[in-house]
Amino acid sequence: MVVAVGGAFGALGRAALTLWMGPMGYFPIATFLVNLLGSLMIGMAWSYFSRSGGQILLSAFLMTGVLGGFTTFSTFSLETAHLIQQGAWGWAASYLVLSVLCCLFGAGLGIWLLR
């Protein structure tokens, strides 16, 4: 139940941020920023919960629920496929590479910040 409630909060947060930002040309900046922020936050959460221990419900609520609902690999995949279908190969490649590298960096930075 805590995961479902957290997921609802995360999905609402993503939707609000996406609507607030609106479309900005070819590059899907809203999804990129959502995934980057979510990666940073899950790194921080993992670092915190791995040290504190015993907070299984809270970590499930935050990491699996809120951050799982906030971030979106499926939208990233769809947006990349859409860019390819439009013939925007450069934008698709940039989005793919930047998303993977920046999100990995964000997660690592989040872990490092709370070590």
State the total domains in the chain.
Answer: 1
The token pair at 33 is: 């920023």
- CA dist., res. 44 & res. 61, Å (int): 15
Helix, strand, coil percentages (3-state) for the chain, rounded to 5, are: 85, 0, 15
> What is the DSSP code string of 44-108?
HHHHHHHHH---HHHHIIIIIIIIHHH--HHHHHHHHHHHHHTT-HHHHHHHHHHHHHHHHHHHH
pLDDT of residue 101: 99
Range of the domain at 29: 2-113
pLDDT in tens, 24-74: 787 999 999 999 999 999 999 999 999 887 789 999 999 999 999 999 999
Single pTM value for the model: 0.92
Nearest residue to 28 via CA among 87, 96, 85: 96
